[in-house]
Amino acid sequence: MAFGRLERTEGPRPMSDINVTPLVDVMLVLVVILIITAPLMASSLRLDLPKAEGAKPQDAPRFVTVGMDGKGGLFLDDKPVTPEQLAQGLAAAARQNPETEVQLRADQSVAYGKVIEVMGAAQKAGLSRIGFVAEPPR
């Protein structure tokens, strides 16, 4: 009769160490993504926007941003402009796409009359969709 060897060799032992290298790799990729996207999330124009309950950002297919700071300065897509340049920029946006939305970001201290003037310039340029940007209350 043929018997196998009486001594047995041990098979491979299970690994009891945790390999953290993949975890570190994933975390480093997430940090790089955060570093790249963080500057894109903040606007360069600092305004004290009014608070409103229904102030949730909505996605518009095409929009231009008009900003008004507390000192009376006008901004078109975060670039300072004069009222004439604003009217020209809005007219150019209306020529490209008449359905372009104007997102109006006015500081809380701006007079109501100045806001109406900007709205009138947008409507005169042919842009009838105007959205007011506000921050939700904390």
For 43-83, how does the pLDDT look when each residue is reduced to its tens digit (9 = 90+)?
666 777 777 776 565 554 588 999 999 888 999 988 999 99
Per-residue pLDDT reduced to its tens digit, 115-137:
999 999 999 999 989 988 888 87
Rounded to 5°, the CA angle 18-22-27 comes to 115
Beta strand pairing call for 79-81 and 129-132: unpaired
Please tell me the distance from the alpha carbon of residue 131 to that of residue 63, in angstroms, as a whole number.
10
Please tell me the distance from the alpha carbon of residue 132 to that of residue 52, in angstroms, as a whole number.
11
Per-residue pLDDT reduced to its tens digit, 13-50:
877 777 888 889 999 999 999 888 877 776 666 777 77
Please tell me the distance from the alpha carbon of residue 91 to that of residue 81, in angstroms, as a whole number.
14
Domains in the chain, CATH or no CATH each: 63-132 (3.30.420.270)
pTM: 0.56
